[in-house]
Each structure stands twice: as C-alpha cells, then as structure tokens.
Amino acid sequence: MKYLCSYVTTAGAVRKVNQDSLFIISAEYQENEIIFAGVCDGVGGLSAGETASSYVCKRLTEWFSTTLADMLKSSRSALEIRSSLDEKLHELNDKINAYADANSMDMATTCTALLIIPSLGKMLVAHVGDTRLYRITDENVTLLTSDHSVVGKEVREGRLTEEMAEKDKRQNQLTNCIGAGMDDTSYDYSITDYSTGDCYMLCSDGFRKKLKPDDIAKTLAPSANNDEDAMKANLEMLRDKVLSLGEKDNISALMIKLY
C-alpha cells in the first residue's frame, strides 16, 4: 500500500497566530507504508494554544518513531497499540497541565490522529475535541469522529440539528480536550478496516464550518485527486472559499489517499 498526501494551514483572515498544528509521518514495514497523521487545534482564547498543539504533534511523532517501532518488531496487536497511544496521550495531558501551572499559563488543544498499519489490516483513530476525520469515497462522505463540544452533544441527543449547531454561539465550547487543567480527559478510539482508493481528511473546525457537505464530496472525491498537485490545488480551493465566506478561525486540513 502507498499513499498520496497534501495539506493546507493558515492563521486565516483575522487571527495573527495560527494555533493549529499538524503532522504526517510514515515508515516502511513489511513492504508497506505505515502512516500516522494528525491535526491539533490549539484552543482559541487561551494564552498558549499554539504551544499545546505543536507539543502534542511533536511528541506523537516521537511515539511513532520509537515506541510504535519497537511494538511492531514484537508483533503487538492493534489493541495493544491503542493502549500505548492512550497512555501517551494521557501523559501529554499531564505534562501540558504541569507546564501551564508552573508558568501561569492557560493551554489546551484538540487532537484527531489516524494510524494505518497495513500488516494488521487496520486503521486506528484517536480523537479528542472538535477536530474531525472524514472518510471520502466517490459515493459519499462519512464523518468518523464525534465532536466533544456542547453543541455536538446536543446534536447527538437530537436537541439541535447540524444546521442549528453551525449558528449556535456555543459551538466553540469544548467538553473535552488535552490540557485546560483537565485531569480526567478521555479519548475516543476506533479500530476499523480501511480501503485502498479512499481518501481520509483530518481538519480543524475552521476548515469545515463554512463548507457544505457537497463542497467536500465533490472537491475531495478520490477521482478528483489522482496526484498530490491536484490534491493540493483542491485543498487550497476550499481554503480560499472558506476565507471568502468570512471564516475568522485558523484553517487547517490534511488529506491522505490510499492506493
């Protein structure tokens, strides 16, 4: 299995600092590419959201290069890898909180990460906050994560529609994240199959809030993204559309196509 990848990230039209961070790292294992990618959105309004998001990205890539590499050598299962990643994320939460306390700062970030391990035939998703992961085929777009936010919870409970949620003034109020003094952060995990030919898109809320489902379905469909130049151009097209619609938040998206 191989992959194509591209991304966009910008502070946007209003904010001076881009608090979003992202990463993608891969390694060859048993004649296939293991892929690890993520998007972290530093919580706006806090003094060091960009520090928290970049720290999490850096430490997760280190986990991939060291801990995961050792686990694969000893043929660990997907469940054991999930447990190791969960331990790392809790460790990062504790370290961010300790650093924030020691320096009288407020720090927090979301995180959505995707790990594809061909030798196991599985895809592991780790998620906290309101960054998102979508699976995109030529037929449909499927959201693979649930927003950890006040309005996200009310949508799942049937108290708000998606359209109402996008206009709700509470849409940026998170119920779960890394940091922010939280000592009981919990993460969503899923271990599922993946399919070659599909696209997977990780994004911050600033990228997707102004877009309609059809925008993503048509522009980021696998058949419209057969090389990295096309993928880059399509992501930039959507970024520019979001900016033209008046999005004030940071805007980031990372897309992978498997083949």
Q: Is residue 110 part of a domain?
A: yes
- What is the predicted pLDDT for the residue at 162? 81
pLDDT digits (tens, 9 = 90+) for 64-104: 999 999 999 998 999 999 999 999 999 999 999 999 999 99
Q: Is residue 193 part of a domain?
A: yes
Please check the confidence at residue 183 and state whether its pLDDT lies above 90: no
| Predicted TM-score (pTM) of this structure | 0.95
Question: What is the percent of the chain where pLDDT is above 90?
Answer: 86
pLDDT digits (tens, 9 = 90+) for 230-244: 999 999 999 999 999
What CA–CA distance (Å, rounded) separates 176 from 169? Answer: 18
Q: Is residue 237 part of a domain?
A: yes
- What is the predicted pLDDT for the residue at 257? 99
By CB atoms closer than 10 A (0-12, 13-18, 19+), residue 166 is middle
Q: Is residue 151 part of a domain?
A: no
Q: Is residue 150 part of a domain?
A: no
Q: Is residue 100 part of a domain?
A: yes
Residues forming beta bridges with residue 133, ordered by sequence position = 202
Please check the confidence at residue 45 and state whether its pLDDT lies above 80: no
Mean pLDDT, the chain, whole residue set: 95
Q: Is residue 56 part of a domain?
A: yes
**Residue 26 amino acid letter:** S
Would you give the DSSP letter of residue 216? H
How many domains, the chain? 1
What CA–CA distance (Å, rounded) separates 71 from 64? Answer: 10
- CATH number where 248 lies: 3.60.40.10
Q: Is residue 109 part of a domain?
A: yes
Residue 43 — pLDDT band, cuts 50, 70, 90? very high
The domain of 97 spans 3-145+176-258
Would you give the DSSP letter of residue 223? G
pLDDT digits (tens, 9 = 90+) for 118-169: 999 999 999 999 999 999 999 999 999 999 999 989 989 999 988 788 788 8
